[in-house]
Structure 1
Amino acid sequence: MNWARVERRGLVEAMRREGPEAPTLCTGWTTRDLAVHLLLRERRPDAAAGMFLPPLGAWTGRVTRGYIARDYDELLDDVEAGPPWYSPFALADKYVNLAEMFVHHEDVLRGGADPTGPWMPRQLAPELSTALELPLKMMGRVTMGKSPARVQLCAPDGRELLSVGSGEPVTVSGAVGELVLFAFGRAPVDVTFRGDPAVVALLQTARRSV
């Protein structure tokens, strides 16, 4: 089962349902902006490089404006089609795109939610939860490597999925999907914290992203 494709389809369905101007959890991005981001990432590595290399910023802006001007449904058709054969993501889609598609799917589903409020997550298939454990362990080390606490991410059954960072210990418990979202700095998420309240507060406000 390629869960990246399943989440991609769910993401596109949500984006079609919400329309092009709906909010997402990506600060300042609408669903149209998110679609453009995905297409730059998968189809225009020359332009995507400008996100990290300032000298290429003007070129990235030019390509981005071209995508933004396109019909929204056409953008989503291209997102749904997945990475083309020449994309660096094509051969490893099921491995490198699972977290990306899952997190952005939730970015749309939770886009209008209060980041400080409670959230009732969707029920994930057990197989999807299992598949998300690997990207959590890999990407969590990157996104939380500079954490102000020694963070232990634990599944509902008590298994430690990841230990990362340094300092006072904090345990974050929740379903695997919610832990993925927490590791990527998203809110709201349905997780619980155990540790010194001051350290927990620092962790909650710390930057967690690639």
Structure 2
Amino acid sequence: MSNHALAERHRLTELLAAAGPDAPTLCAGWTTRDLAAHLVLREHRPDAAAGIRIPALAARTRRVQDGYAARPYEELLRLFRSGPPLYSPFALPGADEAANTVEYFVHAEDVLRAAGDVKPQPLPPGRAEALWRRLPMIARFEAGRRSPVRLVLTHPDGRSLTIGPAGAPTVHLTGDPGELILFTYGRGAHTTLLTDGAPEALEALRHVLPLPAR
């Protein structure tokens, strides 16, 4: 069975190593060192990771992450590459694949695309399909609840997913699964998606979810 999370973990580690500790990322305010510290915290300190999603706990998460960021960069990369420790929830059978395939893909692109105008790297067909299978749940949670317009996300082969408020103006976004995933996580300005919709609808969407440059 393919392990897409493991492949993306190795790709992300290599990109972080090549970039060095002080390179920019698409994560606002984070360097590659900060991103590496975040990745290690998620797996090694589940007791402190809740603040990633819960604002009331964010201060503690930030303190623990800053502690990791103060460690040697090479140590952070070694910890991340070695995978989750046995006490981590991500060490449960199937958990890494289910939870981290998309997470690591997005963060690999955060490093790669922050370096400049980089064309998307072709993904193995199996990995692209894995991203497409995960898109419905992610899109509804990350983009559907925020979008002021109806969104039709379309795969190059014609498959599509519709999310967002019924009856609202519609915007069509077409591209590879990885590009659609990045859009749902707010990285749309750095994608190669094709967009189509009324100018007012596109402008309304752009206020909450970035789109590729006009």
CA distance in 1, matches of 2:179, 2:12: 17
Change (3 A) 1:196 1:113: same
Change (3 A) 1:171 1:66: same
Q: Which residue of 2 aligns with 1:177?
A: 178
Mark the runs of 5 or more structure 1 residues left unpaired by the alignment: none
2:30 corresponds to 1:26: no
Change (3 A) 1:27 1:134: same
What do residues 11-51 of structure 1 show as CA deviations (whole Å, max 9, x unaligned)? Answer: 00000000000000001100000011111112112211234
SS at match of 1:45: coil
Q: Which residue of 2 aligns with 1:155?
A: 155
CA distance in 1, matches of 2:8, 2:66: 26
Task: Tell me by how many angstroms 1:207 deviates.
Answer: 4.2
Counterpart mapping for 1:5-154 below 5 A: 5-53=6-54, 56-91=57-92, 92-113=95-116, 119-144=118-143, 145-154=145-154
CA distance in 1, matches of 2:176, 2:57: 39
Q: Which has the higher contact order (CA 8 A, sep 6+)?
A: 1
Change (3 A) 1:156 1:53: closer
In 1, are the aligned partners of 2:26 and 2:113 still within 8 Å (CA)? yes
Aligned residues: CA RMSD: 1.7
In 2, are the aligned partners of 1:39 and 1:79 still within 8 Å (CA)? yes
What do residues 150-191 of structure 1 show as CA deviations (whole Å, max 9, x unaligned)? Answer: 00100112111x211111111100011111111111131010
Q: Which has the higher mean CA deviation after the structures are superposed, 52-61 or 7-16? A: 52-61
Task: Tell me by how many angstroms 1:62 deviates.
Answer: 3.2
Q: Which residue of 2 aligns with 1:193?
A: 195
CA distance in 2, matches of 1:181, 1:58: 27
In 2, are the aligned partners of 1:113 and 1:188 still within 8 Å (CA)? no
Q: Which has the higher mean CA deviation after the structures are superposed, 56-65 or 2-11? A: 56-65
What do residues 39-88 of structure 1 show as CA deviations (whole Å, max 9, x unaligned)? Answer: 11121122112344455445334322321111101100111112212111
Change (3 A) 1:138 1:55: closer
Mark the runs of 5 or more structure 2 residues left unpaired by the alignment: none
Task: Tell me by how many angstroms 1:110 deviates.
Answer: 0.6
In 1, are the aligned partners of 2:183 and 2:209 still within 8 Å (CA)? no
Q: Which residue of 2 aligns with 1:206?
A: 208
CA distance in 1, matches of 2:110, 2:204: 23
How many pairs are equivalent?
A: 203
Q: Which amino acid aligns with 2:110?
A: D
